[in-house]
Amino acid sequence: MAWSTAEVARMSGVTARTLRHYDEIGLLPPAWIGANGHRYYEEGELLRLQQILVLRALGLGLPGIGEVLAEQVDEVEALRGHHRRLLAERDRLDALADTVSRTIAELEQSRKDDRAMTTINRPENLFEGIRPAQYGESLRDFPGLAEDIARYTSTMSEDRIETGHRERTAQMIRLAELLVAGVPADAAPVQAEIDAQYRALTGLRAVSAEEYRAIGCSCVDNEQWRAAYESIAPGLAAYQRDAIEAYATTRLD
């Protein structure tokens, strides 16, 4: 049995335009093309599309997905591998949700007692479930920058990596507080946080305005990165993206 592009788009939730793009880059060619020029997909293509969507949900970029699929031989074994990754991701998100829930409870208690955030019982608990490697993984769609970060972190001690990880998480929390307070994304306090992030990136190598904008968009478009932001505060991913757009427009263009 074969299904048209429109039918596959309806079943999978993937747009026809995306299916055409996957064909153009060799990631998901159709089973055959009819005399009318329409693409048709069979069961094998549907299974491959499922794998693509699973890998996208796990945060892989299209080049990385192509590499994974090219190395696969047995479909059942490949699905077992995807299943293991999904279970690991579920466990990570569960741990992250527990961390955020515990932080909310302690902050609420601190405010009732008229104490500052620094009185949280165990500050290290703020960072459970958020692994340092996520920062590099979230930049898979920016291979050059990801490679620079990997080279840089390979020379760092575990303590320094953990410190950097905590600094990035603290930045996300500060942005969340500004978001909740209703501070516009282009306001000075928000832009100061974005400037610190940009300077950290350019400490590795030059980052153009367009590249920084693309990184900002990935806060929303990259599923894994968006989940990390949204677990801290609803709307934080878009807030970060908009703040980066404002920064790139006013300071980098």
26 lies in the same domain as 84: no
pTM score: 0.46
141 lies in the same domain as 251: yes
95 lies in the same domain as 170: no
- Which domain does 17 fall in, by range? 3-71
21 lies in the same domain as 44: yes
Token output for 207 = 């980052």
> How far is it, in rounded angstroms, from Cα 98 to Cα 112?
21
How many distinct structural domains can be found in the chain? 3
Band of pLDDT at residue 57, cut at 50, 70 and 90? confident
103 lies in the same domain as 177: no
> How far is it, in rounded angstroms, from Cα 197 to Cα 50?
35
137 lies in the same domain as 252: yes
Band of pLDDT at residue 151, cut at 50, 70 and 90? low
Would you say residue 203 has pLDDT above 60? yes
CA angle, corner 86, sides to 42 and 147, nearest 5? Answer: 95
169 lies in the same domain as 245: yes
Question: Between 228 and 141, whose confidence is greater?
Answer: 228
Asked whether 224 and 253 are in contact (CB, 8 A), the reply is: no
Last residue of one domain, picked from the residues 21, 45, 71: 71
Would you say residue 251 has pLDDT above 60? yes
Band of pLDDT at residue 33, cut at 50, 70 and 90? very high
Asked whether 239 and 179 are in contact (CB, 8 A), the reply is: yes
Last residue of one domain, picked from the residues 85, 114, 129: 129
- Strand partners for 41: 3
170 lies in the same domain as 235: yes
